[in-house]
Amino acid sequence: MASVLGTSSTASFASQLVSSPSSKPAFPSLSLIPGQSYGKKFYGGIGIHGKKGRSQFRVAVTNVATETNSVEQAQKLASKKSQRPVYPFAAIVGQDEMKLCLLLNVIDPKIGGVMIMGDRGTGKSTTVRSLVDLLPEIKVVSGDPYNSDPADPESMGMEIRESILKGEELTVVLTKINMVDLPLGATEDRVCGTIDIEKALTEGVKEFEPGLLAKANRGILYVDEVNLLDDHLVDVLLDSAASGWNTVEREGISISHPARFILIGSGNPEEGELRPQLLDRFGMHAQVGTVKDADLRVKIVEERARFDKNQKEFRDSYKAEQEKLRSQIASARSSLSSVQIDRDLKVKISKVCSELNVDGLRGDIVTNRAAKALAALKGKDKVAAEDIATVIPNCLRHRLRKDPLESIDSGLLVIEKFYDVFS
């Protein structure tokens, strides 16, 4: 589905891309080797100026031809049919804490992801993968390996920025937010990207082949059993998640590309905990326990049996509830920027963090963001104290652990301190 980006916003858009000589670079620099097919070399971001008195910057995004539309729609339909049917998110019984954390991160990706820890067989992976059906559509530049946003320079690959500065036409399509699974056996080359071996052998040129971080840009990166992932890979993931960029320096290639994704990890605490400084990089923490109520357990077993027997019929029975959730998420994402939080509540949030001796300011920032996302999900334009009470245990409890040998607090300490400060 193609769309047109109007030229009325050209001046303001170009001003984001072109920095004045005195200003600091807005983007990481890109240094490519001679002969590589990446066009001009960038030094400290974009700083290209046209002739005096004339603006050479034009964003021209046109409708694609009917043939292209039909081909893309056919490919989209074919890929949708080939996907494995996932368990509906609305059919997940219980586990409200985990579901809420996931929904809040979809509404505001800047929350910073979620770490889900719990017993084996409690539906962690099933719940995360069921999120795929609820993800909204976003605008991307067609054919771009980084899912570049045509209106946001911070989520745009270097080649797309260069094309915009040259005034080239870009095809914009609507596509669903991408979810990328990172297997435990993945290599660093596959995650970060490396040299395109095929082009190196056939054409004799060094060209960058994007990895999973590029594919996950503006989407979701899911790591099952994240506590078993190699430490150096976890460091790479968390560094990219925090900065929004992935920098690759290897075999004569030096390149940076956007890598803004929602990082979701799951694991069983019996198999080991993450280091405290790594846990701190996850915006929220959800604890999942085995359901104790016998009636609920029977319902879960029966629902799973129905799904295994006839997946299409089971998914159809939850279609209305799924659609309602989709519209709630879309509405919350659009209204999020207008949600307000009183300064008095911000001060109290920071006081809770301070008295709990939470290191750094990530706890304060994430709590504010999560409370606003929850208010948006409820359809409100102002954050209330009960919204903060709902999200603050998930935002702070994994930041209280100072000793790697300690277990993560259940959230009781955070709740006690919350009521002490907010009373």
DSSP string, 43-54: SSS-----STT-
pLDDT at 40: 36
pLDDT at 405: 53
In 188-318, which ranges are E strands? Answer: 193-195, 208-210, 220-224, 245-250, 253-258, 262-267, 284-288
pLDDT along the chain (423 residues), means of 10: 42 44 38 38 36 39 40 48 75 88 92 88 88 87 85 81 83 87 85 78 77 88 86 81 82 82 86 74 88 89 92 92 92 94 95 90 94 95 94 90 61 88 87
Record the tokens describing residue 398, joined without a space: 């994994």
Outline where 90-187 has alpha helix (H). Answer: 96-107, 124-130, 158-165
DSSP run (H or E) holding 354: helix 343-355
- Burial state string for 255-294 with b = 16 or more CB within 10 A and e = fewer than 16: bbbbbbbbbbbbbbeeeebbebebbbbbbbbbbbeebeee
Amino acid in the structure at residue 17:
L
The 8-class DSSP code of residue 8 comes to G
Task: Give the burial class of 353: count Cβ atoms within 10 A of its Cβ; 0-12 exposed, 13-18 middle, 19 or more buried.
Answer: buried
pLDDT at 326: 92
Cα pseudo-dihedral 29, 33, 36, 41, rounded to 10: 30
Residue 356, number of CB atoms within 10 A of its CB: 20
pLDDT at 41: 35
pLDDT at 205: 73
Residues 6+ apart with CB under 8 A from 177: 106, 135, 136, 137, 138, 218, 219, 220
pLDDT at 78: 45
Alpha-carbon distance of 184 to 177, in angstroms, equals 23
How far, CA to CA in Å, does 151 sit from each of 29, 358, 400?
A: 20, 36, 39
Three-state secondary-structure class, residue 68: helix
Residues 6+ apart with CB under 8 A from 192: 211, 213, 236, 246, 248
Alpha-carbon distance of 261 to 214, in angstroms, equals 9
Residues with catalytic function: 362
